[in-house]
Structure 1
Amino acid sequence: MTATTLPEDLPERIVEALGAASVGGVRFGRRGLVAYELNVRDGWPVRTLKLAPANDPFAVLAEVDRLEWIDRRLPSPKVLASAQLATGGHAVVLSLPPGTRASAAEHLTRASRTVEYFAQALRFVHEIPIENCPFSSRLELRLRSIERRMTIDEYDTATFTPPYNRYTIERLYEILIESKPAEDDDVFTHGSFGLDVALLDQTGVSGVIDWGQAGIADRYVDLASAVRSIARTLGPEQIPQFFHWYGLKRADPRKLDFYALLAEFE
């Protein structure tokens, strides 16, 4: 398997949805997920093939379920085909909205405008009504998941980013619990919001992608992720403008720190 070829023995419905597409690049995500970015004919919507491993097919199915619920609430990928793999994993072909990732070079050269559109994209996500939303990513559920993973010694802090990698997993969890916010500000969250999931065109936001971790949670889940992405890609000097365009007069630094640490565990 290389960056220029697709896996063999894909299900027929997946092959049909791919058409004559060729591989433009490969991204490796959480939980063993592999995403093939596909080149298609001129005028066709950009497509992505996502493959989940046999030991965690839900890595793909989670996004399929969420896209079905999001539907027309926000420009988002459309499921063209979904099928189980012979190996026991799962495959899905998605048709993406128009536009390019906010992390693309064409947008990084216009940092101020990109930050404005990026903040607007997050506002659109958080404005999706949560009534009757079946997906919960609330804090207590996440903490229980972390505790289960700790009991089977699943963590290696060497993989955490500085300065967290200086501590033991037990100490990091203590810090996490000690800094737990007193109140939640629940909205519909993306769950992993960064410049690479917001699609932009010349006029603004054209879509949001990669919805596998979406659900009801504190808005700071996405704010902390967005801030990290901006600092790493555009520079920390752009963060105040992001909060301005998002509409947050005063960000809570304690909640930003808490959710940044929480993300390390996930």
Structure 2
Amino acid sequence: MQTIKRFIGDAALRRDEIGESPCTVHSFRRGKELYFLKTSPAIYTGTTYSVLREATVLQWLSGKVKVPEVVLTARDEQQEYMITRAVPGAPLAEYLKDEQRTLALFQEALRQMQSISIADCPFDSSAAMRLRELEFLISQDLIDEDYDFGAWPGLTTPQDLLARLHASMPQEELVFSHGDLGDSNIFVTDNDELHFIDLGRGGKADRWLDIAFAHRNLREDVSAELAAQLLTTDAPAKREFFEQLDELF
């Protein structure tokens, strides 16, 4: 922790209010450079909310796709800490009015993620692992309280959802998955170069996980018609499974 404090020095920390995870993010400057301090409570160690897990994912991805540089990590009894250097560009969320550009950028993001070889990937983000994680979060009363089961008749409680997920767990076609591929986690430069952030859930997972998130993003924030253009084939049951899996995170 002392190394983190020394690096930040007397720089002013500015809280980032974007995001719904239990992690806390602050930005700060050293000279002309912008950095981010991300922390996660110790109870999340061993889950995909762990910033130390994210740091190892980012380090493994370095040179494969464009991700933030990990500057420092630390932990104490209360929290885990990670400092990263800011990526260039702006979030894809700022470009949604240009629908065809948005679609092309999501397609490219999916292509880049799924082109990463998983031959030596040490990160398990499979459905079975994520369900074990969800069981832990439910048992510790750490789930997102703002859940909405309205789209899925017959679900009332988190336990109902967990049972349905276990009953509908798909046969997986593993690829590298970002794990939370949305328009706030894809940064775009002026020449459409992509940089990816928030990779705590990154790892080996079914190829439809990232597709489901991108499809939902386009469907909810642009239009169902544009979302449909993302799909060359479809697996509605898998898309529903991964949307349901995400509801309590």
Task: Give the TM-score of the pair, scaled to structure 1.
Answer: 0.80
- Shift of residue 55 of structure 1? 2.8
From 180, 190, 193, the equivalent of 2:169 is 180
Aligned residues: 244
Q: Deviations over 1:17-64 (max 9, x none)?
A: 44675445413656621011345655x3x4211012233355211111
The answer to whether the 8 A contact 1:31-1:56 is kept is: no
Greater mean deviation of Cα atoms: 207-216 or 159-168: 159-168
- Shift of residue 131 of structure 1? 0.6
> 1: CA distance between counterparts of 2:6 and 2:91?
26
1:174-253 map, 5 Å: 174-181=163-170, 183-243=171-231, 249-253=232-236
The answer to whether the 8 A contact 1:103-1:233 is kept is: no
Where does structure 2 lack aligned partners over 5 or more consecutive residues? none
The residue that corresponds to 1:26 in the other structure is 16
Where does structure 1 lack aligned partners over 5 or more consecutive residues? 1-10, 244-248
Tell me: CA distance 1:12–1:156, structure 2 relative to 1, closer, same or farther (3 Å): closer
Tell me: CA distance 1:156–1:32, structure 2 relative to 1, closer, same or farther (3 Å): closer
The answer to whether the 8 A contact 1:26-1:37 is kept is: yes
Greater mean deviation of Cα atoms: 33-42 or 189-198: 33-42
What is the one-letter code of the residue matched to 2:93? S
What is the one-letter code of the residue matched to 2:119? E
Q: Deviations over 1:50-86 (max 9, x none)?
A: 012233355211111111211111110111122235x
The answer to whether the 8 A contact 1:22-1:40 is kept is: no
What is the one-letter code of the residue matched to 1:135? F
CA RMSD of aligned residues (A): 2.7
Tell me: CA distance 1:28–1:100, structure 2 relative to 1, closer, same or farther (3 Å): closer
> Is 2:42 the counterpart of 1:48?
no
The answer to whether the 8 A contact 1:21-1:41 is kept is: no
> Is 2:48 the counterpart of 1:61?
no
Secondary structure at the residue paired with 2:102? helix
> 2: CA distance between counterparts of 1:125 and 1:156?
27
The answer to whether the 8 A contact 1:155-1:169 is kept is: no
What is the one-letter code of the residue matched to 2:184? D
The residue that corresponds to 1:75 in the other structure is 66
Tell me: CA distance 1:116–1:39, structure 2 relative to 1, closer, same or farther (3 Å): farther
> 1: CA distance between counterparts of 2:144 and 2:68?
34
